[in-house]
Amino acid sequence: MSDGDVIESDRAHVWHPYTQHGSARVPLAIKRAKGAFLFDQDDRAIFDGISSWWVTLHGHAQPEIARAIAEQAGILEQVIFTDFTHEPAAALARELSAVLPGDLSRCFFSDDGSTAVEVALKIAMQYWSNVGEKRPLIAALENAYHGDTFGAMSVSGRGLFTAPFQDQLFEVVRLPDPSAGDVLAVLDKLIADRGHELAAVIVEPLLLGAGGMHVYGEQFLRDMRERARRSGTLFIADEVLTGFGRTGPLFACERAEIEPDIICLSKGLTGGFLPLGLTAVREEVFERFVSDDRSRMFFHGHSYTANPIACAAARASLRLLNKECKARRDAIEAVHRERLKHLSTHPKVRNTRVLGTLGAFDLADSSGYLDKIGRALAEYALRNNILLRPLGGTVYLLPPFCTLPEELLNAYEVIARFLDIS
């Protein structure tokens, strides 16, 4: 198809996510990608400063992952995962269990980040039902984002994203954002007052992503996990964004030296090539579902559970998370720290922060997610061959791990020019 045909077909038939079609610009047609760059129909190279919504881990069209996908597609592309298994899923579960923090030895496959969270919530609730206790409450952080399905929305921060569905969301006990409030005091009171009702605490460890790229301290995470442990409450770590090296180590929980009861994974799981979700639990949690009584099994599944091609991609991506990859992540972090230190003196910049391969700051006087300043920056950056997608007045860079220092420095230079002229 020509560029015009792609756009015409898109405008006639496609409904884009998080897009107001009454005012959005014509979408840009991308024909190929390589490394840290996207290429449009005119072969213009565009630096992917956000890893295409945080999924592209090692770079676009990464050859080892592409090869693994092609090989697996010619062997076994799909099989029902109830009563059957296959090498890509079994091997991936074994390999992940070896690198996940703690005793997360049982892996349940799903389709994406939202479903990985739904699985975790349902496991936590049925766990208590299976042990004969009624624990209907989930505690979650203010400003959290866990996905767009109903359970995931329920445990996400309430606001613009969830307002149309408010009456259909289940009750959640809200804990303060650890970057802004005394989460521990509120959690202590909750456990003292209603600990016997509390099924689980769910957190985005160290980084509240879509809620504004809020970074909080490792000690807060350790203290929350310890309180959950002492009270017997399950602790769920949503590492859909933070997993696979984004925060420095392979997992944010590893950085904070904690071991959750349940972990949710997606996005970078396949290196960004294919959708795949995974929820891993401790063996003790899994054992509560094992019985001669079929009514105690976990009632959940998806048509594409443990798709062999996606699992093959994930195994290839996992092999690439080696020492050389860690060195590249460290180089990205070094550029973030140097450039954000410089930008921190700009009158339009506040609250600079770095966490592994994430660099972020807030624009002074921004009015929130719908503030036009973020959109203006995104448009300016794209005209200068940089893909950004600010969260309202929160500007961030989260590039693929293959990014070279000079490529990231150029992105910061474009941002700096915008700040000077806006």
List residues with catalytic annotation.
Answer: 18, 145, 238, 267
Query: How far is the C-alpha of 126 from the C-alpha of 148, rounded, in Å?
Result: 22
Query: How far is the C-alpha of 135 from the C-alpha of 225, rounded, in Å?
Result: 18
Burial class for 228, CB neighbours closer than 10 Å (0-12, 13-18, 19+): buried
Query: How far is the C-alpha of 326 from the C-alpha of 269, rounded, in Å?
Result: 16
Query: How far is the C-alpha of 179 from the C-alpha of 216, rounded, in Å?
Result: 5
Query: How far is the C-alpha of 218 from the C-alpha of 256, rounded, in Å?
Result: 5
Six token digits for residue 14: 């496609």
140 sits in which H/E element: strand 137-141
What order of strands is seen across the sheet that includes strand 262-265? 106-110, 277-281, 262-265, 234-238, 198-203, 137-141, 173-175
State the residue for tokens 């809200």.
174
Six token digits for residue 312: 């093959």
Q: What are phi and psi of 116, to 5 degrees?
A: -60, -40
Query: How far is the C-alpha of 252 from the C-alpha of 103, rounded, in Å?
Result: 16
144 phi-psi bin (left φ>0, alpha ψ -120 to 50, beta other): beta
